[in-house]
């Protein structure tokens, strides 16, 4: 059973202001809900199609084909942990929900120790972000941070990709460091760029003809992180 108040409440969670107010978010799908239940996140309530009916499920689901199960999960804020020994991502204004979700999934696959995101990065609990993490949201430590401050106070290397950077394959890459990922349209901000110690470039093929002007932010993240892990 589900009450009309609950339906209204769950529907309201598609808006950031209500997610903020109640400190919860929505997770959909068998696999995602299972991962939520097995994670350190607190699951407030699980709704299954067989219990609440198909019509109610269609009303509370944000997906075009409603999933068989949906959960309301408490937002989880970890005590802030500054980067030290490890490989980290710093997101400097990622705006596309699909990109943020995909970056968390990449971070999970390649064992990134934590992801730090600027205030102007899209909200972690946006339903599109949550679903595109494919569960990585429950595993990858994620913090909001002042990225220029984080990078400038970091003792190790700060890497970033730039169109005028050096061929990544020919550079020494340390196993520990922060990799900065820039905004989809504008790249790494000037303030953050000033803290980057090693400017990298993903060489196109052939080397003098990229065709496209750039790679998608999540794609550039993947190729860069894969290269770090390939060495290590």
Query: Which residues are near its own copies by CB under 8 A?
Result: 98, 102, 105-106, 108-111, 132, 134-136, 139-140, 169, 202-206, 209-216, 218-219, 222-223, 226-227, 229-230, 232
Report the nearest approach of its own copies to the CB of residue 108 (Å): 4
Note whether 180 and 92 are within 8 A (CB). yes
What SS3 state is found at 106? Answer: helix
The residue among 72 and 202 lying less far from its own copies, judged by its C-beta, is 202
CB neighbours of 208 closer than 8 A, spacing ≥ 6? Answer: none
Among the listed residues 17, 138, 158, 15, the one whose alpha carbon sits nearest the alpha carbon of residue 78: 138
Smallest distance, Å, CB 205 to its own copies? 4
Residue 26 or residue 103: which is nearer to its own copies going by CB?
103
Instruction: Identify the DSSP state of 168.
Output: G
Longest dimension (CA), the chain: 62
Neighbours of 166 (CB within 10 A): 13
We find the least distance from the C-beta atom of residue 176 to its own copies, in angstroms, to be 13
Which CB sits closer to its own copies, 2 or 165? 165
In eight-state DSSP terms, residue 206 is: S
Smaller CB distance to its own copies: residue 194 or 226? 226
The least distance separating its own copies from the CB of residue 59, rounded to whole angstroms, comes to 24
In the complex, least distance from residue 8 CB atom to its own copies, rounded to whole angstroms: 26
Name which of 16 and 45 has its Cβ closer to its own copies.
16
**72 vs 200 by CB, closer to its own copies:** 200
Nearer residue to its own copies within complex by CB, 10 or 36 = 36
In angstroms, give the least distance from the CB of 6 to its own copies: 30
Q: CB-based burial of residue 54 (10 Å sphere; 0-12 exposed, 13-18 middle, 19+ buried)?
A: exposed
47: phi then psi, degrees, rounded to nearest 5: -115, 125
Chain length of the chain? 232
Q: Which residues contact 228 (CB under 8 A, 6 or more apart)?
A: 87, 110, 173, 175, 177, 179
Shortest reach from residue 31's CB to its own copies, in Å: 8
Cα(86)–Cα(90) distance, rounded to whole angstroms?
13
């Amino acid at each position: 059973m589900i009450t009309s108040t609950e339906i209204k409440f769950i529907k309201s969670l598609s808006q950031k202001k209500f997610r903020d107010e109640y400190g919860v978010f929505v997770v959909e799908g068998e696999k995602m809900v299972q991962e939520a239940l097995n994670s350190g996140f607190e699951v407030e309530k699980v709704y299954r199609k067989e219990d609440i009916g198909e019509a109610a499920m269609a009303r509370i689901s944000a997906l075009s084909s409603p999933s068989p199960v949906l959960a309301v999960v408490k937002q989880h804020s970890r005590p802030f942990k500054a980067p030290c020994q490890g490989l980290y991502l710093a997101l400097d204004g990622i705006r596309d929900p699909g990109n943020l979700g995909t970056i968390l999934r990449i971070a999970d696959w390649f064992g990134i120790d934590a992801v730090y995101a600027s205030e102007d990065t899209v909200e972690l609990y946006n339903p599109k972000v949550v679903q595109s993490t494919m569960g990585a949201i429950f595993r990858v430590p994620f913090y909001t941070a002042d990225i220029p401050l984080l990078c400038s106070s970091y003792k190790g290397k700060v890497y970033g990709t730039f169109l005028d950077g050096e061929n990544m394959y020919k550079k020494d890459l340390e196993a520990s460091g922060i990799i900065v990922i820039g905004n989809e349209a504008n790249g790494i901000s000037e303030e953050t760029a000033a803290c980057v110690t090693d400017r990298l470039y993903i060489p196109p093929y052939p080397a003098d003809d990229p065709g496209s002007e750039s790679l998608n932010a999540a794609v550039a993240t993947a190729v860069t992180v894969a290269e770090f892990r390939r060495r290590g």
